[in-house]
Chains A and B, each alone.
Chain A
Amino acid sequence: MPDEALKVTQTLPKEFDRRAFFTKIGLGSLGIAAAGTIVFSYEYLSPNVLYEPSAIVNVGKPENFALNSVTMDVNSGIYLVRAEEGYFALNAVCTHLGCLTAWNQDLGIIACPCHGSKFTRTGEKIEGPAPKPLPWLKTWVSDEGDLMVDRSTDIPPLRYLRI
């Protein structure tokens, strides 16, 4: 009897080998489980709700800003500039490695304390390691007449807000 059983399994084509079949099933399910674990881990590690400050900042009435002034809001990391051509907002976070830049009134430039990047008032790079100019931010006037800035939305440079 054992001899006969052996004979039968030997004549079967390889695809129908029971052990190979279960090995494939087992390895396949392990692979699916491993892929699922990676996806679940990634999902778990990315927070869905963030308790970070809102990207939209109310900077107050437009007339509070003097002509040709650069005002920095340290808490939200933005510059509000009132130029001859109109208002605009710049992101004060350096495009190099994320330090907060500072406006130097005497030299009339924006400078980064970390690695020495320098920018003009309109965000153009003068020198330093920063790869990109400081981005212009979406700016508008709310229904209450306040100047609003959206820190998360960049706009092309030199789009002044005229009031």
Chain B
Amino acid sequence: MPTKADQIVDKVRESRVWRSVFRSGTGSSTLHRALAIQQNIFLHLFATKVRKRMVRFSATWYLGTLTFGTFLILVITGILLMLYYHPSVPQAYADMKDLQFVVSSGLFLRNLHRWSAQLMVFLVFAHMFKVFYRGAYRTPREFNWVIGVFLLLITLLLSYTGYLLPWDQLAFWAITVGSNLSSSVPLVGSKIHFLLLGGNQVNANALLRFYVLHCVVLPLAAILFIAIHFWRIRKDGGLYVQHSEPKARAIPETALTAKEVK
């Protein structure tokens, strides 16, 4: 017997507007649930069905999901910080100080952005260690590991480019040292250094370039690779579950049908 709330929900889901957006239709059968996933542009990256043991905490510790969570926090707080920050030499440092002391909730947003950034780097490494030690990088998932390595590099570059933006002494010398590392590349090192900074020293051009990389280029690259990364999980047969994991421990048998246990 459906409750009143269920009836209202069903009514909305049967309305013409709802059906024009979500075509999977009403109902909660397995087919409807599968269609709801499959016909959604975002959710279709994922599998329509997953095994319970794949989504158990012990299988992955949810490290990839948590990493994505920090990324979402960084995107949202980052966009908000952009509203008060000018990437110019006379203003950058003052804007950062304004965010801390003048703007309402500015300190909270800036700290949230900073701590999430640190946490994201930590979680990316933790995720990769977990994947590595479980052997989840092996065939057929080796390409997704490669995508993951690109995501690691993008994360580190986001971290590095963001480091310059407060435009304080720490930022200036860290980027001076870091960009000088690129000069060590054989033959084209000094050219890369020049292109990266847009000059010979960390100055207005470097600040603007790092800002554009940090706020536009690298986040777009990250979103693209994250989408491929998620899609490949489905294409490679779902999240990896170790065969050696004792089934009785992995899943309480009472909760499963005979087929799922197998």
Which residues of A does B touch, CB under 8 Å?
42, 45-47, 50-52, 97-99, 114
- Tell yes or no: B180 within 8 A of A by CB: yes
CA distance A45 to B197 in the complex (A): 10
- Could you tell me which B residues sit within 8 Å of A by CB distance? 173, 176-177, 179-181, 194-195, 198-201, 203-205
Contacts of B179 in A (CB 8 A): 98
A42 to B200, CA, bound (A): 16
The number of residue pairs between A and B whose CB atoms lie closer than 8 Å in the complex comes to 30
B176 near A98: Cβ-Cβ < 8 Å: yes
Partner of A99, one of B176, B201, B203, B204: B176
Whether the pair A114, B204 counts as a contact (CB closer than 8 A) is: no
Can you list 22 pairs linking A and B with CB atoms under 8 Å apart?
A42-B195, A45-B195, A45-B198, A46-B194, A47-B199, A47-B205, A50-B200, A50-B205, A51-B203, A52-B200, A52-B201, A52-B203, A97-B176, A97-B177, A97-B180, A98-B176, A98-B177, A98-B179, A99-B173, A99-B177, A114-B173, A114-B177
For A98, list chain B residues within 8 Å (CB): 176-177, 179-180
A47 proximity list for chain B (CB < 8 A): 198-199, 205
Min CB gap B175→A, angstroms: 10
Q: How far is the CB of A117 from chain B (nearest CB, A)?
A: 12
Q: Which residues of B contact A99 (CB under 8 A)?
A: 173, 176-177
A57 CB → nearest B CB, Å? 15
Q: Add 20 more A-B contacts to A45-B195, A52-B203, A97-B176 (CB < 8 A).
A: A42-B195, A45-B198, A46-B194, A46-B195, A47-B198, A47-B199, A47-B205, A50-B199, A50-B200, A50-B205, A52-B199, A52-B200, A97-B177, A97-B181, A98-B176, A98-B177, A98-B179, A98-B180, A99-B177, A114-B177
